[in-house]
Amino acid sequence: MHLEFVPVEEFYFALTLAVKTLEELTTSGLAEKVGRRLEQECGQSSTVAAATQNTYNYVFRVKGIDNSPAAELMVSVSDWQGNLRLSSDYGWTLDEERKPVRTVKFEQRNDFAQQVRTYLQEWLQVSME
């Protein structure tokens, strides 16, 4: 797995229509630590947060993981009301009407969430416990 940062200049809302929460980590201070590390590594977040309950949202293209039938795989790392929220379109795709529908990979979302958490923990050197 490799995460490729999507800067704000390249971010389009349509890319995230199928992105759903993978898990929310409630460890005190974790969202703040991860946010600081992401800012150090990537700079400005992918989207500009407009509310106090959400101050950052870093979006990444995931390389090295199959998300067929979807052509691409996205991961979002954000803070939400003080918690760290990991989201992805893994196991989802958009139908002809651009509505999200589950794929056969949907049942593997927990395993994928663990992979994302492990990747972020190693890359950012922040414990996700």
Concatenated DSSP letters of 7-54: -GGG--GGGGTT-EEEEEE--TTHHHHHHHHHHHHH-S-SS---BTTB
Q: Are 22 and 112 in contact (CB under 8 A)?
A: yes
DSSP state of 108: G
Per-residue pLDDT, 46: 84
Residue 111 lies in a domain: yes
Q: Is residue 40 part of a domain?
A: yes
Say yes or no to pLDDT of 40 above 90: yes
Considering only residues 96 and 8, tell me which one the structure prediction assigns the higher pLDDT: 96
* Assigned domain for 14 exists: yes
Total count of domains within the chain: 1
Residue 47 lies inside a defined structural domain of this protein: yes
* pLDDT score for 14: 45
Is residue 76 in some structural domain?
yes
Q: Which residues contact 25 (CB under 8 A, 6 or more apart)?
A: 31, 83, 84, 85, 86, 117, 128
User: How does the average pLDDT of the chain come out, rounded?
Assistant: 89
17 vs 21 pLDDT, higher one: 21
pTM: 0.88
Domain range for residue 82?
Answer: 2-124
8-12, 31-35, 112-116, range with the lowest pLDDT: 8-12
Euclidean distance between CA atoms 67 and 52, whole angstroms: 33
pLDDT score recorded for residue 12: 62
| Whether residue 13 has pLDDT greater than 70 | no
Pairing of strands 57-63, 2-6: antiparallel
pLDDT tens digit sequence for 59-97: 999 999 999 998 889 999 999 999 999 999 999 988 888
Is 103 a member of any domain? Answer: yes
Q: Give a yes or no: residue 56 inside a domain.
A: yes
Residue 126: pLDDT band (50, 70, 90) is: very high
What's the residue count for the chain? 129
Please give the pLDDT value at position 21: 92
CA dihedral 39, 15, 62, 20 (to 10 degrees): 90
Is 129 part of any domain?
Answer: no
